[in-house]
Amino acid sequence: MEALHRKARPYLRTERAVVKASVVAETPAGSEKLVGMSSNDVRTNLQVSQITIRGSARKWRSGFQRQNPQPAVVVRNRQSVDDFQDFDDACKQKRYEGGQFIDFLADKYGWKKEKEDRQNRQTEEEET
């Protein structure tokens, strides 16, 4: 057990968390502080050799890393986001329920056969 602990020691965190406090405002009763906490990274030196970044993805990533500030969300497929927003609006109007996104897409893009097959499968599952 001791040997295992000695081997793991370089990877253990020296500090569990970092707490920072900054004075927001001074008041007659004292000072108001904003307190933030974050955990320290675990040092693993992990390198996943099966994952490689190639060509256009490498160019995109380097441009993304230079953005200041970086966006919280990156939209990869604008059409999918627009479809979901349309579906959300249709749900609010009570035309669809939350689990009917595929049916919504079938109606929007005219996928009649796929929608019928899906409904038939659901009916068969309910009967069994």
pLDDT, tens digit, for every residue of 86-110?
A: 999 999 999 999 888 988 998 888 8
Pairing mode, strands 30-39 and 17-27? antiparallel
- Is this prediction's pTM over 0.85? no
Whole-angstrom Cα distance, residue 125 to residue 128?
5
Full residue range of the structural domain in which residue 110 is found: 78-127
The whole-number pLDDT of residue 88 equals: 94
Shared-domain flag, residues 59 and 85? no
Same-domain pairing of 93 and 114: yes
**What pLDDT is stored for residue 115 in this prediction?**
64
Examine the domain organization and report whether 93 and 56 are in the same domain.
no
Task: Indicate whether 71 belongs to any domain.
Answer: no
pLDDT for 71 equals: 82
Provide Rg for the chain, Cα atoms.
Answer: 26
In-domain check, residue 11 = yes
Instruction: Find which of 17-26, 45-54, 63-72, 111-120 is predicted with most confidence, using mean pLDDT.
Output: 63-72
Indicate the SS3 state at residue 68.
Answer: coil
How many folded domains does the chain comprise? 2
Enumerate the H helices of the chain as residue ranges.
Answer: 2-8, 55-66, 78-92, 101-109, 112-127
Q: What is the pLDDT of residue 92?
A: 94
Which own/partner pairs from 81-89 qualify as long-range (CB within 8 Å, at least 24 positions apart)? Answer: 83/108
Residues 32-82 pLDDT 10s = 888 888 877 766 667 777 778 888 888 988 888 888 888 888 888 999 999
- State the Cα–Cα distance between residues 104 and 86, nearest whole angstrom: 9
Q: How confident is the model at residue 113 (pLDDT cuts 50, 70, 90)?
A: low
Instruction: Identify whether 31 is part of a domain.
Output: yes
Judge whether 35 and 19 are in contact, CB under 8 Å: yes
